[in-house]
Amino acid sequence: MKKQGFSKGARILKSKDFRHVFLKGKRIQTPRYVIRLYPNGLDQWRLGISISKKVSGVVDRNRTKRILREIFRTHRMAWGYPRDLMIVVKKLPHHLGLQEIRQELLQALSQSFPEISPHD
């Protein structure tokens, strides 16, 4: 069984990588998120999260990032071949918990990518 940690290699860190996924990635939109997926040619999934300072305060932004990272960390192994996943948060899910956010993201991803199950 592979480790499910969240190493630096599992993150999109460089601005050129963010731009590449943003410009070429397949776009999926939900009421709270804009999700972009692009095959990365690597041996692992990578995650990038973008939340504007205009959206909310630092505590809420950090909570949202922790939840999104946890969903990514626990589900990426079951999602098929590796891609870069970029999530742009448009509206913070203040009142939603981990389960509700997980369900919304997996539902959106599974509509465009059948190998990603909304019930993982």
| Both structure tokens of 113 | 């990518």
- Confidence at residue 24, expressed as pLDDT on a 0 to 100 scale: 92
Instruction: Confirm whether 95 is domain-assigned.
Output: yes
Look up the domain containing 44 and give its range.
8-112
Average predicted confidence (pLDDT) for the chain: 85
CATH number of the domain at 59, please. Answer: 3.30.230.10
Amino acid residing at 95: H
35-61 pLDDT per residue, tens: 999 998 898 899 999 998 888 888 888
Distance of CA 109 to the CA centre of its chain: 10
Amino acid residing at 75: H
Least trusted range by pLDDT, from 4-8, 54-58, 76-80? 4-8
Q: What is the DSSP letter of 30?
A: -
Element (H, E) at 107: helix 98-112
Question: For the whole model, what pTM was predicted?
Answer: 0.86
Instruction: Confirm whether 117 is domain-assigned.
Output: no
Instruction: Confirm whether 67 is domain-assigned.
Output: yes
The total number of structural domains that make up the chain: 1
| Both structure tokens of 48 | 């990038």
